[in-house]
Amino acid sequence: MKKIVFGSDHAGFSLKEELIPYVKSLEYQVIDLGTFSKESTDYPIYGKKVGEIVANAEADLGIVICGTGIGISIAANKIPGVRAACVTNLYGAEYSKKHNNANVLALGARMLNITQAKEIVNKWLQTDFESGRHQRRIDEISALDERDVEKFERISGNR
């Protein structure tokens, strides 16, 4: 059973609480790293927590939620190995996986209602990475994570 880790700040708390049972109903194991209330907290804490779990392969995928999805995606993307995509529609959900192999989905609780969020999560979970020409780009991103300029140049071929 695939494992998905969730994290949110206070703005994303209610949406997270609604999405977790939905994701469980799709037969995924869920890890909830918080926050556990609507009390004000900082989204970087939860972007970092989720990012580390995904990067360390303790979970297959992550879902992070804040007010817009932007801040928490930026925080999660600071963790090497994370490819967090802030998604607001089905096309973004599909192509964040198909072309970017996003391993963390970022959602904005103030941008989406629960129906939209469920549709995005479902599309994202059902979409596979196409690999092929897109793998080189993922390898380039990995080289950037590693701060390995020579590796990046070798992979990219100075395009």
Q: Which residues are annotated as a binding site for D-ribulose 5-phosphate?
A: 9-10, 67-71, 100, 110, 133, 137
In the annotation, is 134 catalytic?
A: no
State the Cα–Cα distance between residues 129 and 102, nearest whole angstrom: 9
Annotated catalytic residue within 66, 104, 106, 117: 66
In the annotation, is 99 catalytic?
A: yes
Instruction: From 44, 64, 46, select the one nearest 4 (Cα to Cα).
Output: 64
Q: What does the DSSP 8-state code read for residue 148?
A: -
Q: What does the DSSP 8-state code read for residue 139?
A: H
Expressed in angstroms, the distance from the first to the final Cα of the chain is: 40
Sign of the CA dihedral with 31 first, then 109, 106, and 49 last: negative
Annotated catalytic residue within 74, 90, 94, 99: 99
Binding residues: 9-10, 67-71, 100, 110, 133, 137
The residues annotated as belonging to the active site are 66, 99
